[in-house]
Every structure is written in C-alpha cells, then in structure tokens.
Homo-oligomer: A and B are copies of this chain.
C-alpha cells in the first residue's frame, strides 16, 4: 500500500511527468486521445492520487473552505452546514466547520487557523461587534470571505442575509392581528445585526398599530435556550403579556419550558412565536408558530457566492424573504375566555 507518485505513473506509462500532470489537470486539449486514455488507465489501475501538498505548494489552492458558526448546538446551524457542505462538495471543495461558541476569541483563533490551513475562502456566520477586528484579519490576509446570516453592517462586506426586519415585522403583525395588545419580546444578542433588525421590524409593526411597548416588556436574550428559560421564568412569573415574540426558536423552546413550569398554558394564556423554523418546532406541544428561513438554501447560496468570489467573479449580497408559519402556539386573544 505504498503511495504512488506522479513519477511512478510516468515510468509505468513511458511518458514524462509533464505529460502525466497535464492529463491529470485537463490541460491543453491538444493532446493525443491515445496518450490521455493510456495515462488515465494506469492512474486508475494504480489508484494514484496526487499529493495535495505538492500541488498546493504551486497552485496555492487547498480546495478547502472554512465555515465558522456561533453555536452548532442550535439546530439552525447544522441545517446551514448541510447546505453549505453539499454545495461545497459538489464543487470539489471540502468544508471545515468551526464552532466559535459565541466567543470572539475563539472566532479569531479559528480565522487564524483557517488561514494557516490555507483554506481558499471562509464563510463567516459568527460575527458580533467584538469581532470587527476579526473581519480585519480576514481582509488583511486577502482570503475571500462571505458573511452568512450575520453581519455587522450589511454594506461592509458581501454576504447572504435574511430580511430580518421583515421577519420581525411579520411576527409582530401576526400577534397584533390576533388581537394582542400586551406583547413581550425576547431579543437576540444586542450586538448582532440580525437580532437588532428582528427587533426593529417587530417594533415597527407595533408602532404602526399604535401599540405601546413598555421597556420592561423587552428581554435581552442571547439566542440560547438556557438563558431564555431563566429569563422567561422570571418574566412570566410577573405575567402581564398575552403574547411573546422570541427572536429565535431555540429561545422559544426555553420559553415553553418556563411557561410549562409556571403552569401558563400556551397558547391559551400566552401566544408564542419564534424565528427560524427549526425541526423541533413541530414537536413542541403546541406546535410552534414561527418565521421561516430557508436555512439549507442559505448555506448553499453562501458557498456559491464564495466560490464566485474565489474565482474573482463579481458578487453581490443576497437577501432572502422570510415567511410566516402559523401553527398552534399563537391564538386570538378573545379565545382565551373560552378556555
């Protein structure tokens, strides 16, 4: 099981390594069919694989892409990874998935690591304010990169984003149309654009319908389930609201748990709407109403964009439209008296 090199193929076929290299790289079609065929045969036979180190040393390409996500335990991201990976592999790239655990120090470490690993490009889904300098590292090192799902400032860099403002707006509007007046909100991390935009859209909906929202109706969440549970437990104990918008489904899960423990019935006592549409939304009892993102698609398109960027083709940011998914966790306010 010794590893063969291009020399072995050359010797075996009687051609020079230059020629072997050429057919392996599909260079210059002006080459006899015979030669090509013969060489390919032997390559197959000997199960020869080019050494990527040697190849990379010259081409400066690794055919690897990096993807940094903030929290692999949020089912949103595995879904995103799946889309990204499928697209990457279909284009001859492999994907290195890194989990920054929402720590900008880890994020920085991974960016450096990916750079040293000579990836051809990186997908950054992990931005927060603290990491503006991390983006600097990326820019400085000239590695092509694409922002995914999260960005500091959409105008700075190319990326694939969701219209989070509209998503928040849809969530707010849905609750309002159900007759709710006392509506709470659990935001995502304050330093993340997508979370801010969800909040802004939500507030805009309330404003348009002249529904006031006292500041203590707003909880600052961090997109995590545990924290959401802790906060909701306290918040709901002093229950005033009849509806709640959780800025992602993971936090909605935490809210469910808190509500259940406090004997607050969803949706009879409290309507809850989430954001993302993770698969577990359908398992929750009652099934979770939410704002759907095309997560898998976002992953795929991000890689497409990144590959274009690597090839120096012009790229433009992509924006997706979220949609409202009404299930069983939101209900009309009047119905409460029937329960």
A-to-B contact residues, CB < 8 Å? 1, 49, 51-54, 56-57, 60, 62-64, 72-73, 75, 77-79, 81-82, 85, 89, 94-99, 101, 109, 113-118, 140-142, 225, 253-254, 256-257, 260, 279-280, 282-285
Contacts and interface: CB of A to CB of B under 8 A. Distances in A.
Contact of A98 (B54, B78, B85): B85
Contacts of A1: 140-142
Given A53-B56, A56-B53, A95-B96, A72 B81 contact: yes
Given A1-B142, A52-B118, A53-B57, 15 more contacts: A49-B115, A52-B53, A72-B82, A73-B79, A77-B78, A85-B98, A94-B96, A95-B96, A95-B98, A225-B283, A256-B283, A283-B284, A284-B284, A284-B285, A285-B285
A225 to B, nearest CB: 7
A81 B98 CA distance: 10
B117 A64 contact: yes
Contacts of A85: 98-99
B82 A78 contact: no
Contacts of A63: 117
7 contacts: A1-B142, A51-B118, A52-B56, A72-B81, A256-B283, A257-B282, A257-B283
Contacts of A141: 1
Q: Which 6 A-B pairs have the closest CB atoms?
A: A53-B56, A53-B57, A72-B78, A97-B97, A253-B283, A285-B285
A49 B95 contact: no
